């Protein structure tokens, strides 16, 4: 394969991702709207009548404990959410958090807001948070995951709904959305002008759950050191600020499998950064501070074989 054809293929994959993201955003928006209208007795032909809880895999994740112990689901969670949670688990084991990078409409929404931030701040965008603070903040989502899981288990209710900006975005007309949900949504919108995917990085409990599987995924991002020219474009392309340029194997828990680092816009050398089958063993897996002054604030750990 020639250099030109290889880069063209990568560009095609990047375009496919953007199409898939837009398609799922529209699908979720239309489904949530149809569900709300159905509650008022208004049916839309050929559009499924489902609530957001029926198509959100995180509801299935927080229902696992109750389902295994009592054979029931958390209130408002539909069986389809469990099916999606299992599907998300399977995909994460194979490819990492592809749900986050390709499917999640709220992640897509933040990316779209981020495009405005890029126009406003240029190269400063996504570099406002000091690396030491960023390193600490990235673990907050695991505290959120632990808190949400515990509170859901003891209450049998979707505790996170009242704080969920994703739920607020697609149900802003509903009385079910708490004031705290709107506050969270507004905060994420503002932060997205300065930081790419701030909710994904710092607060999303489902993203935290999915990120764990970067340690065990079958296929992942590998960098071919002999052909790497150290241009650092892969670092700049990564929305999660992972230091791909110093890693042989990306096992960072923040990776969302978006493949931006493998795109033609990121790596000018074919077969240097690609999605490939990873070695079977797991080494140091969580983040380390990136070298100061570089675009990637967080340096991912890698298999240093």
Please give the Cα distance from 265 to 153 (Å, whole number). 44
Please give the Cα distance from 241 to 195 (Å, whole number). 10
Contact criterion met (CB below 8 Å) for 279 and 288: no
- Model confidence pLDDT, tens digit, residues 209-247: 999 999 989 999 999 999 999 999 999 999 999 999 998
Contact criterion met (CB below 8 Å) for 177 and 243: no
Secondary structure (H, E, C), 93-159: HHHCCHHHHHHCHHHHHHHHHHHHHHHHHHHHCCCCCCHHHHHHHCCHHHHHHHHHHHHHHHHCCCH
- Model confidence pLDDT, tens digit, residues 101-144: 999 999 999 999 999 999 999 999 999 999 889 989 999 999 99
Q: What is the pTM of this model?
A: 0.85
In the structure encoding, which two tokens stand for residue 104, read together? 């999640």
* Helix pair angle (3-39, 105-121), 10° resolution: 120
Q: Is 261 helix (H, G, I), strand (E, B) or coil?
A: helix
In the structure encoding, which two tokens stand for residue 217, read together? 């995924």
pLDDT at position 189: 98
Tokens 């990637």 sit at which residue?
296
Q: Is 35 helix (H, G, I), strand (E, B) or coil?
A: helix
Provide mean pLDDT across the span 244-258: 93
Please give the Cα distance from 251 to 222 (Å, whole number). 9
Contact criterion met (CB below 8 Å) for 300 and 237: no
Provide mean pLDDT across the span 72-86: 94
Q: How many residues does the chain have?
A: 305
**What pLDDT band is residue 201 in, cutting at 50, 70 and 90?**
very high
Give the CA radius of gyration of the chain. Answer: 20
**What pLDDT band is residue 285 in, cutting at 50, 70 and 90?**
very low
């Amino acid at each position: 394969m020639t250099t030109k054809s290889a880069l063209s293929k990568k560009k095609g994959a990047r375009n496919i991702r953007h199409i898939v993201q837009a398609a799922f955003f529209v699908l979720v928006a239309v489904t949530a709207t149809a569900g709300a209208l159905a509650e008022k007795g208004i049916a839309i032909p050929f559009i499924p009548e489902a609530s957001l809880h029926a198509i959100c895999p995180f509801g299935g994740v927080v229902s696992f404990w109750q389902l295994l112990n009592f054979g029931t689901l958390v209130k408002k969670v539909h069986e389809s959410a469990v099916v999606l949670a299992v599907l998300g688990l399977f995909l994460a084991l194979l490819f990492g958090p592809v749900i986050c990078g390709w499917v999640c409409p709220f992640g897509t929404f933040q990316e779209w807001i981020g495009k405005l931030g890029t126009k406003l701040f240029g190269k400063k965008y996504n570099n406002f948070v000091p690396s030491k603070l960023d390193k600490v903040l990235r673990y907050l989502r695991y505290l959120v995951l632990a808190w949400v899981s515990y509170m859901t288990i003891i209450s049998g209710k979707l505790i996170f709904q009242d704080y969920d900006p994703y739920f607020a975005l697609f149900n802003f007309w509903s009385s079910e959305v708490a004031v705290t949900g709107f506050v969270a949504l507004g905060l994420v919108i503002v932060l997205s002008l300065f930081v790419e995917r701030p909710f994904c990085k710092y607060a999303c409990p489902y993203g935290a759950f999915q990120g764990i599987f970067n340690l065990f995924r079958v296929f992942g991002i590998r960098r071919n050191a002999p052909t790497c020219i150290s241009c650092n474009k892969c670092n700049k392309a990564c929305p999660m600020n992972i230091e791909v340029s110093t890693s042989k194997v990306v096992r960072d828990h923040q990776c969302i499998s978006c493949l931006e680092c493998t795109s033609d816009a990121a790596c000018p050398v074919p077969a240097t950064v690609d999605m490939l089958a990873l070695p079977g063993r797991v080494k140091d897996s969580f983040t380390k501070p990136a070298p100061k002054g570089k675009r990637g604030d967080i340096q991912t750990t890698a298999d240093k074989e």
